[in-house]
Structure 1
């Protein structure tokens, strides 16, 4: 799965939002077959994060959480926004490729606006 997050500053309804920050990252899920009779499942998954960490989920629910539940924090200097009241929002795009059990696709979501005040 490839993710892209765009953090934007909302302006008047006539103007497009001003992009403040963009972040791209990937989470890879790899499935493999085992013939080991001591293991409870035949198909196993490994999840690779953008930090080169390999995760080994024990259940299907845990694999879904590791692959799809993503939390990101953004830090912006106040000087980048300037004084006054600002409204920020984030748009998230996710894409995935074709596989034996799924077609290629993508999804998009947008956060509600967050109002902040800089003095």
Structure 2
């Protein structure tokens, strides 16, 4: 399933591509990172994280504008990633976690838990 993390409205905030790459490598040791060389690509960096469990992988892409993340994987893995990503972003910057169709969404706050993220999406199934 595909999910996104973005600011809910236009902002000047963005995460630095190099910082993001360094931070994600610190957090996950079993990761493959591919910088995007195509200037027309929507993504700046694409990563595959090997995670234990059913899916065994989480695909992550940093948007070229430095303001968004696309996730493709099991909801639980995406929620875990979202909590970690929230910790990299200044608390004053609002972020929203949602599915590609925007059937459901949740504001990501410093105190948001994995369960807080998962619950609204379980109601959709």
Same fold, judged at TM 0.5 (above): no
Give TM-score, length-normalised by structure 2: 0.30
In terms of Rg, which structure is larger?
1
Give TM-score, length-normalised by structure 1: 0.31
More helix by share: 2
